[in-house]
Amino acid sequence: MVKVKAIILLSFILLTVQLKAQSLLKDIEDSVAVKEKITGAFKSTRVINAHSIEMLHKRNLDVRIMHRFGFISSGVKQLYGLDNAAMRISFDYGLTDNTTIGFGRSTFRKELDLFVKTRIVQQSTGVGAMPVSLVVAAGDLVWTEESFNMVKPNFSDRSSYYVQLILGRKFSSIFSLQLSPILVHSSTAVNTGDDKTIFAMGGGARFKVSKRMALTLDYHHPFGVLNQINTDPLSVGLDIETGGHVFQLQFSNATGMNERAYITQTTGNFFKGDIRFGFNLSRIFNIGKHKK
């Protein structure tokens, strides 16, 4: 009888210890946050001109139209720049959630561009948290406007390429910031004496002002030899989310809307009134079958 009571008591003690241990393990697991990826640092794959750290989802197609008008300072005779316009239309596609490819056509120099953009690291919280996102973008460009030189340029002479790193962080639901150093190489410099290879340090920021609106800023400072009329490209804008669209209104001194153009051919001085009004319109389409 004593042995039976001892066995029952021992079993009760073991069961109690086991339940306590399970409860303790559950408390430990609950105290460790599940890893969560951070998205929405920017509401578009471009801040204004430059790539942002955001990516398209797999099988998403982004049809984007970008417009830049003439200088507002041109006055009423040019309807404050609205009589002149440059445009870029592009089609970007998400191969995966971490890789996007794109094609664009600009009226400025009648330029064609291709790019690929890959996310190396994504900002996250919880187990194995990452404080920042890191993206790499690279592209090729070729201008096709007519040349009046005695010796006509070939395809290689018309070509250029760029490589860009984008390091960014969403600090809160209101504020995001990124740095975006870029290297641009042109086979033929636009102006005699210009460096064919230009490095520029860029930055972008987003400040949310309401549920569907945010202020944005996009700036690059080129290093190297460029014509004295060249200036730093600076753009400030307002993002407006309207369902499947992202509508961006902005003021910029840059005419070109691809990397070669705005890095090496911006000539207006933003702080002296050489400002162009413009807008970007982005529409996302879901392409292909999606798993339920």
Q: What is the pLDDT of residues 171-214, one digit of tens each?
A: 999 999 999 999 999 998 888 889 999 999 999 999 999 988 99
Confidence of residue 15 (pLDDT cuts 50, 70, 90): very low
pLDDT in tens, 260-278: 999 999 988 888 888 999 9
Question: pLDDT: is 151 or 46 the higher one?
Answer: 46
Token pair, residue 232, equals: 């730093």
Instruction: Let me know: does 70 contact 84? Beta carbons within 8 Å.
Output: yes
Which two structure tokens, joined as six digits, stand for 248?
A: 């961006």
- Residue spans of the domains in the chain: they are 1-31, 37-286
Average pLDDT over all residues of the chain = 86
- b/e 109-147 (16+ beta carbons within 10 angstroms → b): bebbbebebbbeebbbeeeeeeebbbbebebebbbeeee
pLDDT tens digit string along 130-174? 999 999 999 999 999 888 787 788 888 899 999 999 999 999 999
Considering the four listed CATH numbers 2.40.50.100, 1.10.287.3510, 2.40.160.40, 3.10.20.30, the one that applies to the domain covering 37-286 is 2.40.160.40
pTM: 0.82
Task: At 17, list the tokens.
Answer: 């210890």
Q: Is the pLDDT of residue 17 over 50?
A: no
| pLDDT at residue 38, as a whole number | 87
Cα gap 157→244, rounded to integer Å: 40
User: What pLDDT shows up at residue 147?
Assistant: 81
Q: Mean per-residue pLDDT for 14-43? A: 64
Euclidean distance between CA atoms 164 and 180, whole angstroms: 7
